[in-house]
Copies of this chain bind each other. A is one copy, B any other.
Amino acid sequence: MQTIDHLLSLVQNEFEKQKFNSDPIELYDPIDYTMSQGGKRIRPVLCLMGCNLFDGDLESALYPAMGIEIFHNFTLLHDDIMDNAPIRRGKETVYKKWNSNIAILSGDTMYALAYKYLIRTKSPRLSEIIEVITQTAIEICEGQQYDMNFETMEQVSIDDYLNMIRLKTAVLLGASLKIGAIIANASNEEADLMYKFGENVGMAFQLKDDLLDLYSDESKFGKKTGGDIIANKKTFLYLKAIEQADETNANKLKTLFSTLDIDNDIKVNTVKEIFNQFDVKKLTEEKMEAFYQVALGNLNQIDLSLEKKDALKKVAEILMSRDH
C-alpha cells in the first residue's frame, strides 16, 4: 500500500503541471484560480486509494481522480452563487471576485473538464465509471436543492436532513472510492461495498462539519465558530436539540432560528447553552460513531488484507477527527 502522503503528492504534482489558462481567459482564469487554490484533495486521494487497495494501476486512476476533484470544485462554484457565499478557503469565491455569469459558465466548463479527465483512464470499464459520476452528479444537485428547500421549511426531520447530507456530500466520497476500485477491476460487489463504506464515512464526515462549525478551536478552524447558527442553518445539531429539548427550549430555539435581527454573539452563546444542556455534542458524536461502525461493517465484507483495511480506516479516521 502507498501512503496517503504519497497518493496526495501524486495528485498535487499533476495538478501543478496542468494549465487551465487557455482562451478565452475570462472563462479559464476562474478555473485556474479555483484549481490552484488546493483544498484537501480528499476525493482524488480516496479514488487513488480505492484503486491501490485492489492493486490497480495508479497511473490509470490519476486523471479520473483529478476529474473527480475538478467535478467537486464545479459544484462548489455553483453552490457559492446559490448560497451567496463570499469566501471559500480564505479567498473570494469566483462569483464574488468576478460575477455570477462567470461562475455559472466556468462551472459548466469544469463539469465538462471533469469528464474529459475521467475518460483518460485506460480502464475498459469506462461506462461504469461514467455512470457512477453521472448518477452522483444528479444526486448532488438533488441534495443541494433539498438544502435550499430546508432554509424556508419550518419542519425538517432528522431523516430528511440525513438524506440531504447523504446526497449533497456523502455520495461523492463513496463514488470516489468506487471509481478507484472499478479502475483496479474490483468485482461489482467489492466496488459497491467500497461505495457504501465511503458513503457512511461521508455521513460521519459531514456531521463532523456540523460539529466543527460550533465546537472547534477557532485558531485551527480558521474562522469564527457559530456561522451555522448565525445563518439559521438547520444542521444535525439544531434538529437533535429540537428533538431532545422540552417545549420551552425547543420554542426558544425555533424563535432564535427564525430571525437575523439579534446580536450574533448573544445568539450563538444562547443556542450553544441549550445545545449543551441537551448533550447535543455527545449525541452527534454518537451518530458519527454509528455511521462509522456501519462503514466498518461494509469494509469487513470485502476480502482485503488487514494491512489494507487498516490503511483505509486510517483515512476515514483522519476525515472524522480533523479539526478544520
Residues of A within 8 A of B (CB): 23-24, 26-27, 78, 81-82, 100-101, 104-105, 107-109, 111-113, 115-116, 119, 126-127, 130-131, 134-135, 137-138, 141-142, 144-146, 148-149
**5 additional A-B residue pairs with CB within 8 Å, beyond A27-B141, A82-B104, A113-B138:** A24-B142, A82-B105, A108-B141, A115-B134, A130-B130
Q: Can you name the residue of chain B whose Cβ is closest to the Cβ of A123?
A: B127
How far, in Å, is A110 (CB) from chain B's closest CB?
9
Cβ-defined contact, A108 with B105, below 8 A: no
A-B contact pairs, 9 of them (CB 8 A): A82-B105, A104-B104, A105-B141, A108-B137, A109-B142, A111-B137, A112-B138, A115-B134, A119-B131
Q: Can you name the residue of chain B whose Cβ is closest to the Cβ of A121?
A: B127
A142 CA / B142 CA spacing, docked (Å): 27
Known A-B contacts A111-B111, A130-B119; A105 and B145 likewise in contact (beta carbons under 8 Å): yes
A134 CA / B59 CA spacing, docked (Å): 22
Within 8 Å by CB of A127, from B126, B142, B148, lies B126
Of A116, A119, A141, the most chain B CB neighbours within 10 A belong to A141
Known A-B contacts A100-B100, A101-B148, A119-B131; A27 and B142 likewise in contact (beta carbons under 8 Å): yes
Known A-B contacts A144-B105, A145-B26; A130 and B126 likewise in contact (beta carbons under 8 Å): yes
Of A23, A100, A108, A137, the most chain B CB neighbours within 10 A belong to A108
A81 CA / B95 CA spacing, docked (Å): 14
Cβ-defined contact, A145 with B27, below 8 A: yes
Residues on B with beta carbons closer than 8 Å to the beta carbon of A115:
115, 130, 134, 137
